[in-house]
Structure 1
Amino acid sequence: MVLRKKSVLKTLIPLAALAIVAPLASCGDSAGTEGGGGDKKTIGVSVADQKSLFYVAAVQGMEAEAKKRGYELKVTSANNNANQQVSQVNDLLTQQVGALIFISQDSTAAGAGVRAANQADVPVVAVDQRPESGDGELATYIATDSVKAAKDLCDWMFSQIGDSGEIAILHGVLGSTAEIQRTQGCEDSLKEHPNVKVVAEETANWDETEAFKATQNILSANPNLKAVFGESDAMALGAAKAAQQAGRSGMTFVGIDGFPTMFAGIEAGLTQATMAQQPYKMGEIAVDNAISIMEGKGDGIAKEQYQDTVLITKDNVATEDVKTFYGPDASVDQ
């Protein structure tokens, strides 16, 4: 059974108490037409960062759809700083954007931004991360079904190691939607594979370097380790590189994202599988939904819109096009 570390959550909880203190301009029906007084109708976008390939691709999808539809985007990046993101959301709202597309740094801190948008009558389209229940009203939530993705991926990984043996798990940012759901999905798979034992868990915060260092320690303490489930591609790549440096061959490393770098890793035999997400498409959907809502046509939009993932292994990595998932600028050479 997976025993998730919960201590990091203590650092996140105080963020839920953050309040938006700057005064809000009136952002009612007029925001749905001009948005900030500009010549174009405007959508605000608040993104956790613009370093992650997932978020870069999502914003590119948003930009492409907005340009096609004649809408302006105001994009802010919080550089993985939850406090900064709360401030940026507040700034967007004072500019009277017609809708807010929100990719939050973490699900707890997101509540303050959603509540502020609700108070300003600005609809919120959440992407990837879901603000915690009770923290405000979302127009819709667009994301990967991370529970299913992790369940299917762990099922595949366990089959590769003969449905028995020792594995390690590298967690993303504790308390984030993706971390919670991907942990749950692998736990569901573990229940069906009682001979697979989790002997080590570390939090690497979606980061390749952190995963590399964590896996070095895991490998030293667990000479019989067969596989590592990285809850993101970056962490899976970091783990695989640590094993390569340590001369530990024959292990299985899997992740979730479908990054171009992971496609390259699978082609090279460094890693073995990923569940490819569709961030570019999610960005397009987010803007399409925001425009529909601003134009008074959003009644038919589902509250939850989960996008499928595709299992990428050595068997299909050469035939699946990474551009399908990460947009026209994506390349396995990235």
Structure 2
Amino acid sequence: MTTIFDRRSIALMLGAAMLGMAGAAAAADYPAPVPLAQGSQADTKAFKPTAKITIAYMPPATEFNYYIAIGEGIKARAAKAGVDTFMLAPQSGADINGQMGMIQDAITRKVDAIILSTHDEAAAAPLVKLAVDKGIAVIVVNSDIAAFPTPVHAVVGYSQRKGTHLIGDYLLKKLAGKPATVAVIEGQPGYHSTERVGGFLDAVKGTPGITVKASIPGGWNVEGGNTAAMDLLQANPDVDVVFAANDYMIMGAALAAKSLGRSGLTLLGNDGDTAALEEIQAGTVTATVNTTPFVMGEIAFDVTLDVLNGKFPGGFVETPENIVDKDTVLPVLQAADRLYPKPSRSY
């Protein structure tokens, strides 16, 4: 069986090149796609160039600025290409039924393509199959899922397990052999949470002096991260490191730490959300995996256009990621045109 995951060297070279420019360059070229798992690839040869294209961008929720940042990358590219795009998403990431209804609406509107990110791949699969059967291109974004439950035309995103493995490696380097007690805040159950938590745990497991004390869900949002961290820190006063599977939850953990008077904690996130980047600059959060969502949106658009023009061979396209901490965050914040929302002030 052919899978998409033997591609680390390509990703590292791409990431180094793009991130060395602080994300300032547009994603004009993307790395060679890697084949999806057998049976997961929809036919990309069925598409022919069309005169007028309409693309629906369908993230899981509008409550997450991260997905809006991806959408801004899509919009920027679409404006240059003269392509119509619109976004459909429920307000809450927990509103799975709402997103399913919106996917049905996009199919009814006979869009040319759907750029989709969902918190429930199993629920979305029947509608994705319907869209593909009706000749709509479906590109999954912000994922590296090896085998979507039904064939799709492309997958675009960063390597989630690799990214959080990087921040686990960062922690070990920062500790320099010192012991630490770690708590983990998971997202909602599903592929994304499993991969992100798994990558971090893979990095730290077996390291002498590192104890993972507890792991509980935080619902992907600030409120959930705050509640989870309050519970974790009060039940485990010896915890000195908190890793959360996204930036919203680690920002919630930072609020909990402040409320409890817990200074000196190492707080690690994942995403590269603008607010988290500013908290890193302020010293409230320690570090995050910057997964460059604006660039991801640009690449997702380019891939979608290539699918519709019959130029995409199929497969997974990996987008860049790197670790950002207090020493490296300033250039990222200064490239404000590549962020959404914009930073609260000029840096």
Aligned residues: 299
**Equivalent of residue 168 in structure 1, options 171, 176, 183:** 183
2:173 corresponds in structure 1 to 159
Deviation at 1:190, TM superposition (A): 2.3
Q: CA deviation at 1:291?
A: 1.6
Give the distance between the partners of 2:108 and 2:338, measured in 1 at CA.
32
Separation in structure 1 between the aligned mates of residue 255 and residue 237 of structure 2, nearest angstrom: 16
CA offset digits 1:227-248 (Å, max 9, x no partner): 0001111111111221122111
Aligned-pair CA distance for 1:330: 2.3
- The residue type equivalent to 1:106 in the other structure is D
Paired letter, 1:62 = I
Letter of the structure 1 residue corresponding to residue 140 of structure 2: A
Change (3 A) 1:308 1:30: closer
Tell me the amino acid that sits aligned with residue 331 of structure 2.
T
Alpha carbons of 1:135 and 1:232: their partners in 2 closer, same or farther (altered >3 Å)?
same
Q: Aligned partners of 1:138, 1:30: CA distance in 2, in Å?
A: 13
Q: What TM-score, normalized by structure 2, do the two folds share? A: 0.79
Does structure 2 retain, via aligned residues, the 8 Å contact 1:32–1:99?
no
Shift of 1:134: 5.9
User: Share of identical aligned residues, percent?
Assistant: 26
Residues 1:145 and 2:162 aligned together:
no
RMSD: 2.4
Alpha-carbon separation, structure 1, partners of 2:189 and 2:287:
23
Give 2:303's aligned residue.
289
Distance in 2 (alpha carbons) for counterparts of 1:293 and 1:283: 15
Instruction: Give unmatched runs, 5+ long, in structure 1.
Output: 1-28, 35-39
Q: Deviations over 1:138-184 (max 9, x none)?
A: 11111111111111101212333444221100001111x32121111
Q: Give the aligned partner of residue 292 of structure 2.
A: 278
For residue 308 of structure 1, the aligned residue among 303, 320, 323 is 320
Residue of 93, 96, 101 corresponding to 1:82: 96
Quote the offset at 1:56 in angstroms.
Answer: 0.5
Distance across 1 between alignment mates of 2:126 and 2:344: 38
The aligned residue for residue 217 of structure 1 is 231
User: Does residue 81 of structure 2 align to residue 69 of structure 1?
Assistant: yes
Q: CA deviation at 1:328?
A: 7.1
Secondary structure class of the residue paired with 2:331:
coil
The answer to whether the Cα contact below 8 Å between 1:260 and 1:322 also exists between their aligned partners in 2 is no
Q: Structure 1 CA distance, aligned partners of 2:337 and 2:222?
A: 21
From the superposition, tell whether residues 130 and 316 of structure 1 become closer, same or farther in structure 2 (CA, over 3 Å): closer
Q: TM-score, normalised by structure 1?
A: 0.82
Indicate whether 1:120 and 2:134 are aligned. Answer: yes
Give the deviation of 1:309 after TM superposition.
1.1
In the TM superposition, what whole-angstrom CA distance separates every residue of 1:18-57 from its partner, at most 9, and x where no partner exists? xxxxxxxxxxx799736xxxxx421122221122121011
Partner of 1:23: none
Task: Please point out which of 62, 65, 74 is paired with 1:53.
Answer: 65
Quote how far apart the aligned CAs of 1:131 are: 6.5
In structure 1, distance between residues paired with 2:250 and 2:135:
41
- Equivalents in 2 of 1:259, 1:131: separation in Å? 22
Q: Which residue of 1 is the match for residue 193 of structure 2?
A: 179
SS in 2 for 1:133: coil
Distance change in 2, residues 1:217/1:185 (3 Å): same
Higher relative contact order (CA 8 A, sep 6+): 2
Check if 1:33 corresponds to 2:47.
no
Look up the SS of the partner of 2:333 in the other structure: coil
* Alpha-carbon distance, 1:287 to partner: 1.7
Q: Aligned residue for 1:108?
A: 122
CA contact (8 A) 2:274 2:341 kept: no
Match of 2:274 among 226, 250, 260: 260
> Is the alpha carbon distance of 1:320 and 1:131 closer, same or farther for their aligned partners in structure 2, counting shifts above 3 Å?
closer
**Contact persistence 1:42–1:97 (CA under 8 A):** yes
Q: Give the whole-Å Cα distance in 2 for the aligned partners of 1:148 and 1:132.
A: 14
Residue type at the aligned position of 1:238: G
Consecutive unaligned residues in structure 2, runs of 5 or more: 1-45
Give a deviation string over 1:108-159, Cα, whole Å, max 9, x none: 3221232111221212111014678362111111111111111110121233
Report how far residue 324 of structure 1 moved.
6.9
**What is the SS of the residue equivalent to 2:240?**
strand
Q: Does 1:42 align with 2:54?
A: yes
Q: Secondary structure at the residue paired with 1:239?
A: helix
Shift of 1:272: 0.7
**Matched-pair contact (CA < 8 Å) for 1:276–1:310:** yes
Output the CA distance in 2 between the equivalents of 1:226 and 1:166.
6
